[in-house]
Amino acid sequence: MEVRIESMVCLWDDKIPTLFLEFVNLLTLTTSEEGLRKGIKEFAEKHELDRFFLYGFGSHHFYLHQRYTSNPEMVMKNRILSVHF
């Protein structure tokens, strides 16, 4: 598992820095794809991950994009990070 930070995080809300840091900690401690999927699902249920970020899985990676807080339907073009497994 390799976590790659690909672009900057915009701090449009005071909750974003703590949320993002806790999420990155989760990602770096995960050792398998199954653990990653389970951890992300549990994290999203406990925190506001969907409010600030768009995320999903490709065939060999996880990706995370940031949403605009002014219009959550809009998503920033560049990925913030990816996790390759």
pLDDT tens for each residue of 8-42:
999 999 999 999 999 999 999 999 999 999 999 99
Distance CA 51, CA 16 (A): 10
pLDDT band at 50 (very low <50, low <70, confident <90, very high): very high
Q: Are 1 and 30 in contact (CB under 8 A)?
A: yes
Distance CA 60, CA 73 (A): 26
* E strands in the chain: 2-5, 53-57, 61-66, 81-84
**So what's the pLDDT on residue 14?**
97
Write down the mean pLDDT value for the chain.
97
How many domains would you assign to the chain? 1
Distances, alpha carbon 32 to alpha carbons 28, 62, 66, 69, 84, in Å: 11, 12, 24, 31, 10
Distance CA 25, CA 76 (A): 22
SS3 content of the chain, % helix, strand, coil (to 5): 40, 25, 40
Q: By residue range, what is the domain housing residue 14?
A: 2-84
**So what's the pLDDT on residue 38?**
98
Task: Read off the pTM.
Answer: 0.92
pLDDT band at 52 (very low <50, low <70, confident <90, very high): very high
